[in-house]
A and B are shown apart, each in its own frame.
Chain A
């Protein structure tokens, strides 16, 4: 008896054992399939499970006849109807349990190896078909990905185009404002100079009415000039073109200068302007003197504008080793909690009617904030409607090392 005959005999014997216990094995399969395949899928569950179990049995018996090809086909079929690898492993376990329980001990090892071979072919078929499924799935994902990447690329291009256009528009705006401001300053300079020539009596003395008119012309020219400067500053600081100087200057000199520049403006409104320089103020600091003075002037001009009775107080103080503090307090109209959110925005004034009443384009505080930020300082506002305001600016004694 050669080995093939022996295997064939063994197969026949195992087949007989399986056939005699067919119902028992089928119910084992059915139980496994029901648990693993149809969990949470109610309805056709028992009949479908029974059918698959019967087909599994037939396939096993066919395989025991010696046609291992059918085992592979069976594997593919199982994978196609959605039987998972887990179910397949459970079916194998049930088969082995059944063989152990029903086969004669002397045949047992051989019988198990035959069943193992069958399972291997089924598993192989299952895996091969799965491989195709996996490859198909990968292909599908790759396609979807390519589509998404394609769409994303188009979107990125669009977004970039819009961003470029916005940058271009912004650059144009900055250039435009710089150009306009430059072009306007020349005739403004001529106007200012000529009005002053009249005021100084270069062409003979003026009568009181003429003096009054000339001084009004000059005031208007100065206002125009300030508006152009503010527009230019706002646009240059916003576009990052501001270069802060690093020079040594005295904070108290700034206070003295702003105080003397705006004293008459305060007196004209019938309010007092105070200055206070504490002993803790550093003698000198390093920074941009003109821009620091601009911060203080803007705050003082604002305070005077919005104060009708009482006073405006300029106070500077030291704060530890590293900082110094500029504070402008007034007894003016104050700022409501709601307006507090927008006072630092460009072209804003707390009350839209104020622009008519108080003049200016509403860039003063916006420029203050931009400058304070550029100097790595901080600004705080304390105010209540009807109870005055206090702006506190804290600046470093020297700029951080770059």
Chain B
């Protein structure tokens, strides 16, 4: 049986997290929903996800730190990171490190299509 790719949805707003999580599940991902930065750092290192949806402003640890962690970790070379934020200026400065930047409000169907396209690992 084919194993599903793993996605972490890191977003402190519960409603927004639900929307992202649903879009990824619909696109065929195994999804873990995370609501704060500190937990996110631990879970990223422990689960080595294929895809991360990352909010920037969060309690405890901001998204840019988590993005830095991911890009510094050799085990996470193939991990896709989609920044999902309302802070355009902050996102602009991080754009080179991210695979994609989406500005809120983010369309459910657009996110669904995007993550479906990203499902196959980049090296295959």
Q: Which residues of A does B touch, CB under 8 Å?
A: 181-183, 185-194, 196-197, 200, 202, 221, 225, 241, 243
Contact A188 B105 (CB under 8 A): yes
Shortest CB-to-CB span from B56 to chain A, Å, is: 10
Report the bound CA distance from A54 to B92 in whole Å. Answer: 96
Report the bound CA distance from A189 to B87 in whole Å. Answer: 13
Contact A197 B105 (CB under 8 A): no
Closest B residue to A193 by CB, please name it.
Answer: B19
Contact B109 A200 (CB under 8 A): yes
B interface, over-half SS: helix
Shortest CB-to-CB span from A36 to chain B, Å, is: 78
Contact A192 B105 (CB under 8 A): yes
B82-124 interface with A by 8 A CB criterion: 86-87, 89, 92, 103-109, 111-112
Inside 8 A of B87's CB, which chain A residues have their CB? 182
Report the bound CA distance from A188 to B16 in whole Å. Answer: 9
Report the bound CA distance from A186 to B22 in whole Å. Answer: 17
Contact A185 B109 (CB under 8 A): no
Q: Which residues of B does A touch, CB under 8 Å?
A: 13, 15-16, 18-20, 22-23, 26, 86-87, 89, 92, 103-109, 111-112
Shortest CB-to-CB span from A7 to chain B, Å, is: 98
A189-B104, A189-B105 known; A197 vs B16 contact (CB < 8 Å):
no
Inside 8 A of A202's CB, which chain B residues have their CB? 22, 26
Report the bound CA distance from A190 to B107 in whole Å. Answer: 9
Closest B residue to A184 by CB, please name it.
Answer: B86
Contact B104 A197 (CB under 8 A): no
A193-B19, A202-B26 known; A185 vs B105 contact (CB < 8 Å):
yes
Report the bound CA distance from A225 to B103 in whole Å. Answer: 11
Report the bound CA distance from A189 to B14 in whole Å. Answer: 11
Inside 8 A of B20's CB, which chain A residues have their CB? 193
Shortest CB-to-CB span from A241 to chain B, Å, is: 8
